[in-house]
Amino acid sequence: MTKDKLLNKNCCDQSIFSKLHDKHAKDLHDFIYYKFGEQFNPKDKVQQAFLKLWENCKKITPDKAKSYLFSVANNTTLNVIKHEKVILKYESNTKSNNSDHQDPQFLLEEKEYMDKYQNALSKLTEEKRAAFLLNRVEGKKHKEIAKILGISRKAVEKRIYTALKQLRKEIHEI
Amino acid sequence: MKPDKEILIKKWLNDELSPEEFEMFKKLDKYEEYIKISDRAKHFKAPHYNQKVEFEKLNFATSSQKKSSNLKVFKYVAAVAAIAIIAFTLFQTLNTTTNLQSFATSTAKTKSVQLPDQSKVSLNANSNLTYNKDEWYKERQLQLNGEALFKVKKGQKFVVNTAYANVEVLGTVFNVKSRDYIFEVSCFEGSVKVYLKGQSYVLKPKDNLVIDHENILITQFSSAQPDWKTNKTIIDSKSLDIVLKEFQNYYDVNFDASNIDTSTIYSGSFSHNDLKIALNSITLPLGYTYTKQGNTIILSNQ
C-alpha cells in the first residue's frame, strides 16, 4: 500500500518534503504564532524547523515528520524566549465596517473591549492560548488540534473551555 | 434531559450543538459574552502565511545540498582550496626568515612604533629598528641602531641588540642610545640588564650607563624621561666633535670645524626646534662664532 511505502521512505525525497511543507507549514506557523506571539518571528521558526528536518531527513520517516517539526519549532522558540508577555495584535474593527457611520461612543467601547481582550489573552498560558485561537480563529475542530499538538481530544476540549471561561472572567467581570 | 452548561459550551466550541441544544445554549446567562469573545477572537488572526513563498525560500536554502552533482563539484572545489591553503601556509613558514619589520627615521624626525605585544617604542631621529615579526612571540628581540625609548609590556625577556651591547629586560621603561660615537642606556622603570664585552651590568631606575673612552660608567640621573623626548639634547662633558655629530641628528646641516679645536669639552644643552638658538647655545659658551653657507655651518674663533 502507499502508506507502507511511505513508512519505508525518509523525507529526503523532494516531493515528499514539499508535501510535508504543504501539509504542516501553516498549522505550525499558526501554532507558534498563537503560542508565543509575533516577536519571536514564527515564520523563521517554521523555516528553521523545516531546514532541520531536511538536514536530518535520512533519520526521519514522513509519519514522524510532523511531531519532529513541531517539537523543533517549539524548542527553538523556547530557547530564545524568556517568558515575556505575549501580546497579539488585533485588527481594528473599524477597517472592515463602514466607519463613517459608526458612533464614536461605540468605537471607544470597542477599543476598550479589544484592549481588555488583548490583555486577557496575554495572561493565558501558552498552551491554552494556542488551543483556543486555533479553534476560534482558524476554525479547527478539537480533533484536529489534538492531532497538531499531539495530545488527547479531551485535553484540547478542556484547554479551550477553560480558556474561554478565563477570558470571559477577565474581560467581563473585571 | 437537560445537559449541563459546561457540556453545552464545549459542544458549542466544537460546532456540535444540535438546533435544540443551540436554543438552550442561547438561554445561558453569559451567552452574549461568549458569542462576543468568540467573534472578536477573529481580530487576533495570525498574519497570512504564504505557503508558496515560504517554501520557495526553503527550496533556495536546501538546494545546495540537494543534488549529488553539486556535491561532487563541491568536493573538487574543497580539494583545490585545501591545496591552496597548504601551499600558502608552507610559503608563509618558509618565508619567516625574511619577514622582518623595519622602522627608520631621518634627521629631525621621530616615530612611535607599536610592537605586537603592545610594547611601545619611540624612535629618535636618524635611527633604525628591526625585528622579526614571526619570531616575535618566541623571543622578543630587536635590532637598534640609533636611539630609542622602550616601554616594555611585562612578559618574557625583551632584548635590544646593538652594535655595542645587548640590553635585556622583562618589563620596564628604558632608553637606549647606540650611535657610532656613543653608547648609553638609561633606565626609567623596572630594571635593565646590559651585556657588554662579556660582562653584565644591572641598571636600576635612574641609573645611566655610558661608554666613555672605552670605560664603562654608571651614573645617576634625575629626569623623568630622556632628553630627546623634551626636544632637546643635554650634554655632560663631551668633546665638541661628539656634540656636533649629535647635533646632526636633529638638523640637516654639515659642519666645517677645520678652524677650531673639536676636542674642546662641552657641557650644556641644545634645542631641537630652532637652528639659530641651538647653534648659539653651543658656540657662545665655548667662545666660537659661526657663519652659515647653505647647509654648511662654518665654525671659527671669535
Please provide the DSSP assignment of A25-47 as one string: HHHHHHHHHHHH-GGG-HHHHHH
Q: Supply A164's cell numbers.
A: 474561554
pLDDT category, A131, cuts 50, 70, 90? very high
Q: Does the beta carbon of B85 lie under 8 angstroms from any beta carbon of chain A? A: no
Looking at the structure, do residues B144 and B112 belong to the same domain, yes or no? yes
Task: For residues B114-119, give the mean pLDDT.
Answer: 86
Strands B207-212, B215-220: pairing kind: antiparallel
Gap from A161 CA to chain B (nearest CA, Å): 6
Q: Do B34 and A168 touch (CB under 8 A)?
A: yes
Q: B54 and A47: CB-CB below 8 Å? A: yes
For the segment A46-67, what is each residue's pLDDT rounded down to a tens digit? 988 988 888 888 888 888 888 8
DSSP E strands, B88-246: 100-104, 111-114, 120-123, 128-132, 140-151, 158-161, 165-169, 173-179, 182-189, 192-196, 199-203, 207-212, 215-220, 232-239
Q: Which three cell numbers stand for residue B288?
A: 666660537
**Inter-chain residue contact B46 with A51, CB threshold 8 Å:** no
> Are B88 and B160 in a shared domain?
no
pLDDT attached to residue A153 = 92
Same domain, B27 and B68: no
Whole-angstrom Cα distance, residue B296 to residue B166? 36
Question: Average pLDDT of chain B?
Answer: 84
Q: Are residues B201 and B278 in the same domain?
A: no
Give B277 or A174, the one with higher predicted confidence: B277
Q: Are residues B123 and B160 in the same domain?
A: yes
B44–chain A Cβ distance below 8 A for any pair: yes
Same domain, yes or no: B131 and B188:
yes
Q: Contact B206/B221 with Cβ under 8 angstroms?
A: yes
In this structure, the answer to whether residues B202 and B106 fall within a common structural domain is yes
What's the domain range around B74?
51-94
- With 0-12 / 13-18 / 19 or more C-beta atoms within 10 angstroms meaning exposed / middle / buried, residue B196 is middle
Say how many domains are in chain B.
4
Verify whether the Cβ–Cβ distance A91 to B45 is below 8 Å.
Answer: yes
Size of interface A-B (CB pairs under 8 A): 101
* Same-domain check for residues B120 and B207: yes
pLDDT at residue B131 is higher than 70:
yes
Does B54 contact chain A (CB < 8 Å)?
Answer: yes
Last residue of a domain, one of B227, B248, B266: B227
A10 touching B, CB under 8 A? no
The 8-class DSSP code of residue B192 comes to: E
Kindly determine whether residue B62 and residue A38, on different chains, have CB atoms separated by under 8 Å.
no
Here the cell at position A44 is 523563521
**ipTM of the complex, rounded to two decimals:** 0.72
B207-218: average pLDDT: 84
**Which structural domains are found in chain A, ordered by start?**
2-80 (1.10.1740), 93-173 (1.10.10.10)
**B221, B286: one domain:** no
Residue of A120, A121, A131 lying closest to A154 (CA atoms): A131
